[in-house]
Structure 1
């Protein structure tokens, strides 16, 4: 997993896609040469569906809130935050940020308290907030102003840093350490409320943990009785939950991303089969070493356990005794998220597969979701999964991953629909989907229904995302489904925004206070502000050798997609990723997650990565206590005058 505590290469930057499908680099290069122009750092169609997007960064972070030249109300009214390398949260003047639920917080007040030396047991960790907060949703408890002041906050815990999780680190793996790691993964459901004008975590019957050991079940074409899911232990757990989704019927979708990382074997005769290799499965995994202490994660001993991961998991936050359900109709990939929208009464779920050279997918319900639920059927079990193909004339199409359609036939080795979904990546290869550079979060504009997708960066191999090769900064793609109908099977696409630093790439015209790289998290608020969160790899943060020396720590920005205006809103502490996005219904409270502060970062600790003896080598946020260690946490951001976030 690491070398001297530093992960030298992000595994997501290494492709496991051997197909000859067209790359987005090839498609976009042709697209730019035929129909597009570069205007102020944003690639826009000269004569396309989106028209001119304006000049990104042209306002230079001014705080003006007056109407623009077309008389439209400006969405961005705050003073942009400048880049920072401080070990602190930075927000605009007139805003405040408070830590709410850091890793180790007891679910309820009588639960086990956090121990600064990380000596909490596995059993205690299962009753505490997990590690490395990620995707998140807010479910109001009540309507109107009442619901804006209290609700259930549901958040993912993507992975664990075992150097910080145990008092003595992970040099020696034990069954208890595996159990604690599992308990620190998964999902937390906690009630939060405004008490005396401040947001607090409060006791509730709803407070709950779903961990790597919680019983789960399966629904859809790959049912719980399917042969591929029969392992040597009961079906349990969800792992590496990155982003998320929220359904219109009030459930939460947790998304399993780098699930391959936890499995390994010491059996020298074991070799990955073609499908395992396609998902990046190997004997070493990402170095967690769980297989050394728990046969559940040994690929040679328990080969089917890995098939139970790679799914979207539905959790009912209002039913604490309910069993999480893995919805297999949405496919088995490295799900970055599951963004849900509604069109013609049917649900549509968009999801990126976060690895270099992978694809973006959407699931379209077979009937209006209310009708299906009235028949006691899950809308997530009934529908068709599609994968995107981007054409070089600016058009695109959704290719069905349906057994018996196109090449997905018995004659070509596809047994049935369950087989297609278990081997989703190979099915997408077969139909000719377009390779992308690390497709991550998806956001749907609430008024136009246009769809936005972050492409975090390109590795430099021969399908880097246009217009740069290599593409160390990433960009954002957008498309409009035909007729503005998200269930449609064709679309028009363009490139909304190139991230980067104009000091190294003159095609980028971002203002100095707004430069950023590696867009990852993405979400719209109800007014149409696009919130962008970054995940610059710790191996690149602040380093001139990586062309990131002017950008500072990871951050969050806001954009007006009508004008292209963008401003930096938040900067995180050292070594962190800024992720997770949830708004209270009145848009006067923003919840953001700070993930892995203090993780090994060469810029801050070139000679000494964090160790059990010195966990604060990079960061001591948020406790600022030399006897403690850095902790992921949810942060509550409010405007001091009580106004709408972003104004």
Structure 2
């Protein structure tokens, strides 16, 4: 999830649907926490009935009670990686490192051309997956997203985006630095190294890679352009945030903030449609770090008004076939995809959970039309092309004194009836057009707006589903209420102490009978992040009782389970370490055990990242003895108080961070500017990480 611009901190959802925060406020008010002054507990305050259901599911599945076996690290503000005692790490595969045997070496001054970048590792690593080769623990394909670029670092001094020195090649370089890379890696003599002459290595980027559009939206009028009148082919992928992977060994990359890349050179801007406004597409200039429309008319909405509809999808990639064309999966919906959590339902249908990462957006799931066949992987390759997309509606379920909420999945089909009593077929002329307008369809059926849904992860034994709701910076603003026709924004009342919600939370739900294909669920809040150092006990801003001054954090983002049921939590939040964020330090990764005997809800800090970074992307070797994570945008100045004052990043790229230079890595050709990189971590005794 990108932090360079706060583009997700505004809402384009003016549907008026009841927000999840209102339900949370109801639950809080019902338990009179503000009256009693008793700090809430994730186990007794939220969802005890849900925990009972999960316990039954665990007994049926004979779940392993996971434990945490490392000593927690302290919060920090340094410019290096910090891991627990007894662990070691290696920095690998940095932005600008070679992809191929003939790739140019990193220069460090950003003067590489777009042709150079096409043969180098992309920028700002995000979601990723380690695909083992032949079941090996020490050799595989590292498939990884490259979400966006930092113009201050990727362009040399004197080049201003859409200004001095700006030309077509800089646009191409930016495009080739984003997308997905496939890198063959191997463990040799205790160090992970790229296999540069491998047939698998590949750059799948925004400029060079042709893709096919599959599913109901393929060939619809909204997908047709001058360059592609068929509406079935598209060049590139970008804004690649989280990821997923399938049981048939394909990679899913999620296109998130694609709307930032489109603008117009037309005087006064292009005409804005309701559809553009609902998704946040500018009718004038694109975001200032891109401005691709200046040399690529595909990104000028006046020249190509439909091009932006062809981005904001989940893309399926076969990493083991470098000649294959990636597929944009229109059946999974069109929105700002964060990640994709894939599971198999009890009836054999494939289920994909997804979040739309913008304030007051929705949570979705897709259920495939056909069933997974473990004995025929080739047959499974089309399972995500057809199926039904659903959107979540969270409800207050306390009508009988239960402590958890309930919810249901609403199908987004032409036959579905909106809250206005009319079928969606009266608004959308085909399923393809409905899916292009996924947000509008979800508005009409009464979906529940959430606090920026980020990553979703599914417990490997119980099928319990967890989602990070990273934060909500501006709920109830005058501007937003005006946009909603003057309606008082849900959640703005004395019963809800988290109107601004700067810390975020993790919500979980349990599908009926623990079946991912079910159409109803119960939900609770796993924890609310907070800061008991600066907020008094009993104030919900202090967080739930498993949040202490030893594990403070804000803005949970990346999320994954290991095989034993430990949940790994990565953060992308405010690293100022001041005021309400006192004691939180740099962004980090934590490990939690949701329930395990007397260790209920335990959370420990496992890793602290360098200055200005986000910690994101997580994958494991098959034996879980190595964990791979990504350090995105180290040294990014942003708006944080700890950033150097009166210094232009392009004039002094190393002013805030020099990482990874000098941090446990080969420093050859590593200087010049901060670099996103992958970090691999292991236990010195060779055991399972986290245990």
Same-fold status (TM-score > 0.5): yes
1:395 aligns with 2:406: yes
Partner of 2:551: 514
| Contact 2:65–2:565 (8 Å) recurs in 1 | no
Partner of 1:548: 581
Aligned ranges for residues 93-242 of structure 1 at < 5 Å?
93-143=85-135, 147-168=136-157, 169-171=159-161, 172=163, 173-203=166-196, 204-213=198-207, 214-223=209-218, 225-233=219-227, 235-242=234-241
C-alpha separation between the residues in 2 aligned to 1:376 and 1:581? 25
Cα deviation 1:405-434 (Å, max 9, x = unaligned):
213746632111011100000000000000
How far residue 217 of structure 1 moved from its aligned partner, in angstroms, is 0.8
Please say which of residues 602-611 and 565-574 is displaced more in the overlay.
Answer: 602-611
Partner of 1:271: 271
How far residue 44 of structure 1 moved from its aligned partner, in angstroms, is 4.3
Three-state SS of the structure 2 residue aligned to 1:570 is strand
TM-score (ref. length: structure 1): 0.91
| Contact 1:437–1:464 (8 Å) recurs in 2 | no
C-alpha separation between the residues in 2 aligned to 1:470 and 1:181? 34
C-alpha separation between the residues in 2 aligned to 1:276 and 1:43? 44
Find the partner of 1:616 among 646, 654, 661. 654
| Contact 2:122–2:176 (8 Å) recurs in 1 | yes
Partner of 2:22: 26
Partner of 1:50: 51
Three-state SS of the structure 2 residue aligned to 1:487 is coil
Partner of 1:431: 445
Partner of 1:59: none
| Contact 2:66–2:566 (8 Å) recurs in 1 | no
Aligned ranges for residues 402-441 of structure 1 at < 5 Å?
402-407=413-418, 409=423, 412-441=426-455
C-alpha separation between the residues in 1 aligned to 2:646 and 2:387? 51
C-alpha separation between the residues in 1 aligned to 2:183 and 2:52? 43
Aligned ranges for residues 598-609 of structure 1 at < 5 Å?
598-601=635-638, 602-609=640-647
| Contact 2:417–2:424 (8 Å) recurs in 1 | no
TM-score (ref. length: structure 2): 0.86
C-alpha separation between the residues in 2 aligned to 1:460 and 1:377? 42
Cα 1:414–1:610 shift into 2, 3 Å = same
Partner of 2:252: 253
Find the partner of 1:380 among 384, 389, 392. 384
Structural RMSD (CA): 2.3
How far residue 41 of structure 1 moved from its aligned partner, in angstroms, is 6.0
How far residue 269 of structure 1 moved from its aligned partner, in angstroms, is 4.7
C-alpha separation between the residues in 1 aligned to 2:213 and 2:121? 25
Task: Report how many residues are paired.
Answer: 618
Three-state SS of the structure 2 residue aligned to 1:329 is helix
Cα 1:554–1:411 shift into 2, 3 Å = closer
Partner of 1:442: 456
C-alpha separation between the residues in 1 aligned to 2:522 and 2:379? 35
Find the partner of 1:366 among 369, 380, 392. 369
1:574 aligns with 2:611: yes
Cα deviation 1:489-521 (Å, max 9, x = unaligned):
000000001112112333423222201000000
| Contact 1:99–1:636 (8 Å) recurs in 2 | yes
Please say which of residues 349-358 and 194-203 is displaced more in the overlay.
Answer: 194-203
C-alpha separation between the residues in 1 aligned to 2:425 and 2:565? 48
Q: Specify every segment of 5 or more residues in structure 2 that has no aligned partner in the other structure, as ranges.
A: 34-38, 56-62, 229-233, 398-404, 477-489
How far residue 294 of structure 1 moved from its aligned partner, in angstroms, is 2.0
C-alpha separation between the residues in 2 aligned to 1:92 and 1:436? 34
Q: Specify every segment of 5 or more residues in structure 1 that has no aligned partner in the other structure, as ranges.
A: 55-70
